[in-house]
């Protein structure tokens, strides 16, 4: 592969997926795209580049893009986000005005083969005493249609189910099917998968209470990161949460979010610092004035009774949060589940 061919592939991938590949990632292009070339009966990446430049090669360009964006995933990866989900995010949801309608929408923005959304679904199932009568919708999106098909099937190898998944949960929620393990239909029904490019318009997805976007931003350049976070802020309810990977941060990239105190990788909307919401015990948030309750876990105080609305949200931060049903933006029917 010549330098010019490498530059062509790199530019094409950035334009189509936002993926940024430095010179040191040349090996990654070769290792992931040679199998694609062989599938197309080509002997080199040079032949592949020639084919990609043809006007009628859209399917091939999609195949190459998806081959480069397949990322590793496993159950309960990094543990901390799921502990924060159980101990911080869900208590905050239960204490919020959305408890009146008992609705909750979660977006896993890089669902891959499904381990992350299924881990969240299992956590929700395990919290049936608190969430048993809630309508929960988990949306899992990914650029790769191939990994989404595997996610929908819910079939995993012995290695995959043993990697990160506690044995008691494997026994409880999986059934062996030949050499594979399939997650229970009650868990699969809680997740809806959708083919989606994070460079596209997010409004079609509706509004969410929690967004998981872990180990995604690291692949993009700073302007793309800023743009993605700004658009996610518009899709997140003012008292919602954003979850990033352990190596990711909003610092220096976005002013829309604020780190949650003592919760690695967890962020709340800046507008929530002045919103009227009950405090969740133990999160370390204190109000600046006795008359203004703190937002759960944000660790910042409200300086004024009213605060201008966050860009794109269209509502003043100091007003009480609207009931969840009126702010979801999309129907709960598709992909929603009600726990028994």
Rounded to 10 deg, the angle between the 58-68 and 45-52 helix axes is 130
Measured over the CA atoms of residue 316, residue 322, residue 324 and residue 329, the dihedral's sign is: negative
Q: How far is CA 258 from CA 239, 243, 248, 307, in A?
A: 12, 11, 13, 15
User: DSSP class of residue 85?
Assistant: I
- The encoded tokens of residue 318 equal 């100091």
- Look at residue 146 and give its three-state secondary structure: helix
Q: What is the pLDDT of residue 330?
A: 36
Partner residues linked to 182 by β-bridges: 155, 175
pLDDT (tens, 9 = 90+) of the chain, 340 residues, equals: 888 888 889 888 888 877 788 887 788 788 888 888 898 888 889 989 999 988 888 889 888 888 887 677 889 999 999 999 999 999 999 999 988 999 999 999 999 999 999 999 999 999 999 998 899 999 999 988 889 999 999 999 999 998 889 999 999 999 999 999 999 999 999 999 999 999 999 999 999 999 999 988 988 889 999 999 999 999 999 999 999 998 899 989 999 999 999 999 999 998 754 443 444 444 444 333 444 344 444 444 334 443 343 333 333 333 444 443 333 333 333 333 433 3
Distance (Å, whole) CA 211 – CA 213: 6
Can you list the domains of the chain with their CATH numbers?
A: 3-68 (1.10.155.10), 80-274 (3.40.50.150)
Of the candidates 273, 227, 235, 218, the one whose C-alpha atom is nearest the C-alpha of residue 254 is 227
Q: What are phi and psi of 307, to 5 degrees?
A: -135, 140
Of the candidates 270, 210, 214, the one whose C-alpha atom is nearest the C-alpha of residue 236 is 210
Q: What is the 3-state secondary structure (H, E, C) of 27-45?
A: HHHHHHHHHHHHHCCCCCH
- The encoded tokens of residue 118 equal 């299924």
- The encoded tokens of residue 225 equal 């990161």
- Look at residue 229 and give its three-state secondary structure: helix
Which region holds residue 58: left if phi is over 0, alpha if psi is between -120 and 50, else beta?
alpha
Q: Long-range contacts of range 224-231, CB-CB < 8 Å, 24 or more positions apart?
A: 224/18, 224/20, 224/199, 225/253, 225/254, 226/253, 226/254, 228/18, 228/198, 229/253, 229/254, 229/256, 229/257, 230/254, 230/256, 230/311, 230/312, 231/202
Buried b (16+ CB within 10 A) or exposed e, 127-165: beeebeebbbbbbbbbbbeebbebbeebbbeeebbeebb
Q: To which residue do tokens 């004024």 refer?
A: 304
Q: What is the pLDDT of residue 170?
A: 94
- CA-only gyration radius of the chain, Å: 21
Q: What is the pLDDT of residue 20?
A: 80
Distance (Å, whole) CA 335 – CA 189: 7
Q: What is the pLDDT of residue 70?
A: 67
- The encoded tokens of residue 30 equal 């070769």
Q: How far is CA 192 from CA 72, 88, 136, 148, 327, in A?
A: 20, 24, 11, 10, 20
User: DSSP class of residue 58?
Assistant: H
- The encoded tokens of residue 158 equal 């012995």
- The encoded tokens of residue 307 equal 């605060």
Distance (Å, whole) CA 286 – CA 303: 11
Distance (Å, whole) CA 278 – CA 280: 7
């Amino acid at each position: 592969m010549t330098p010019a061919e490498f530059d062509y592939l790199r530019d094409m991938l950035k334009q189509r997926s936002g993926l940024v590949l430095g010179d040191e990632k040349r090996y990654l292009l070769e290792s992931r795209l040679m199998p694609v070339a062989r599938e197309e009966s080509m002997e080199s990446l040079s032949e592949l580049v020639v084919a990609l430049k043809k006007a009628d090669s859209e399917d091939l360009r999609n195949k190459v893009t998806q081959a480069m964006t397949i990322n590793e995933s496993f159950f309960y990866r990094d543990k901390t986000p799921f502990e924060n989900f159980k101990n911080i995010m869900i208590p905050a949801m239960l204490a919020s005005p959305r408890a009146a309608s008992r609705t909750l929408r979660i977006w896993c923005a890089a669902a891959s083969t499904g381990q992350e959304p299924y881990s969240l679904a299992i956590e929700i199932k395990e919290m049936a005493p608190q969430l048993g009568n809630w309508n929960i919708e988990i949306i899992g999106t990914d650029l790769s249609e191939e990994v989404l098909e595997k996610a929908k099937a819910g079939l995993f190898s012995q290695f995959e189910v043993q990697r990160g998944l506690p044995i008691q949960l494997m026994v409880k929620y999986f059934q062996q099917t030949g050499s594979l393990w399939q997650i229970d239909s009650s868990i699969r029904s809680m997740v809806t998968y959708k083919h989606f490019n994070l460079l596209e318009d997010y409004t079609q997805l509706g509004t969410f209470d929690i967004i998981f976007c872990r180990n995604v931003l690291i692949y993009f350049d700073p302007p793309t990161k800023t743009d993605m976070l700004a658009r996610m802020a518009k899709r997140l309810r003012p008292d919602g949460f954003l979850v990033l990977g352990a190596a990711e941060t909003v610092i220096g990239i976005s002013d829309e979010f604020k780190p949650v105190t003592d919760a690695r990788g967890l962020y709340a909307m800046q507008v929530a610092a002045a919103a009227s919401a009950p405090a969740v015990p133990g999160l370390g948030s204190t109000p600046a004035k006795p008359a203004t309750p703190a937002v759960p876990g944000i660790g910042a105080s409200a300086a004024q009774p009213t605060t201008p609305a966050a860009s794109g949200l269209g509502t003043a931060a100091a007003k009480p949060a609207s009931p969840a049903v009126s702010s979801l933006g999309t129907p709960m029917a598709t992909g929603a589940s009600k726990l028994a």
